[in-house]
Amino acid sequence: MLTVSELYIYPVKSLGGISVPSALLTDRGFEYDRRWMLVDAHHRFLSQRELPQMALLQVRLQGQGLVIHHKNIDQPPLLIPAEPTGESCQVSIWDDECSARWVDSHADEWLSRMLSFPCRLVYMPDTSRRLVDPVFAHRQEVTSFSDAFPLLVIGQASLDDLNTRLPSPLPMDRFRPNIVFTGGEPYQEDTMEHFQIAGVSFFGVKPCARCAITTIDQQTAQKSKEPLRTMNSYRTRNNKIYFGQNLLFEGTGKISVNDRLVIT
């Protein structure tokens, strides 16, 4: 039997994630997931690829807004409103452009100071529609400020197998999934084309190509060569390293830890 064991949201793209007991599905993934994002002076997204220290900014939900604090710097936290009403702007994520709203100058100043890098915080309102790549889309699905897809699933057995190959085991947070499940075989998610959780249908559409973020310790922001060095020996295809499965879904509702995952 396959069972949902962990659920995660990442309200601000590339900042610390939040483990949640249940998650509500919206039109673009889990509620709050990657609805905020940091951008540079050219309105292009920022991530731990360029700024590993982003891992040290931890986020928590407060009401419908956010609170952000730095793990190592003793400063008052940053409070973010649920739906910022700043001016509209255009931002870019990889090859996509979409509309967003500036949050406010206080957030920009606080984040720039914590990261020692000039940046601005933007929010994706419900009116912004960023389409999933039509090569993989089923019904013109949309996503938030995620890299490309609304959800990512990883089996705990896959991480367990990887950890038997590594010099030191790594936690699941290196891979930033939304859904983790127990049971089944290592890498079973690779071939999960269609499954259901709590009556919602999910579709595996593309294995997740992994980048240098997996080499960043999410507690310290220190970089290493693992796990990419080890995964390169057995998880490479077409010169890319894959771990986890990107998902699309059909339907709305809430899924929770301990829900059954049923392959259809």
Could you give the CA distance from residue 101 to residue 83 in angstroms, rounded to a whole number? 9
Domain architecture of the chain: domains with CATH: 2-263 (2.40.33.20)
Q: Is 133 helix (H, G, I), strand (E, B) or coil?
A: coil
Assigned token pair, 110: 């606080």
Overall pTM > 0.95: yes
Show the CA angle centred on residue 25, arms to residues 24 and 28, nearest 5°: 135
- 171-185 pLDDT, tens digit per residue, is 999 999 999 999 999
- 108-122 pLDDT, tens digit per residue, is 999 999 999 999 999
Q: Which residue has 């936690």 as its token pair? A: 171
Q: Give pLDDT, residue 163.
A: 98
Show the CA angle centred on residue 55, arms to residues 218 and 111, nearest 5°: 165
Q: Give pLDDT, residue 143.
A: 98
Per the prediction, the chain carries an average pLDDT of: 97
Could you give the CA distance from residue 202 to residue 177 in angstroms, rounded to a whole number? 15
Could you give the CA distance from residue 90 to residue 206 in angstroms, rounded to a whole number? 27
DSSP string, 14-29: TS--EE-SEEEEETTE
Q: Which residue has 């690779």 as its token pair? A: 190
Counting as low any pLDDT under 50, the low residues of the chain are none
Q: Give pLDDT, residue 83.
A: 82
Q: Give pLDDT, residue 76.
A: 96
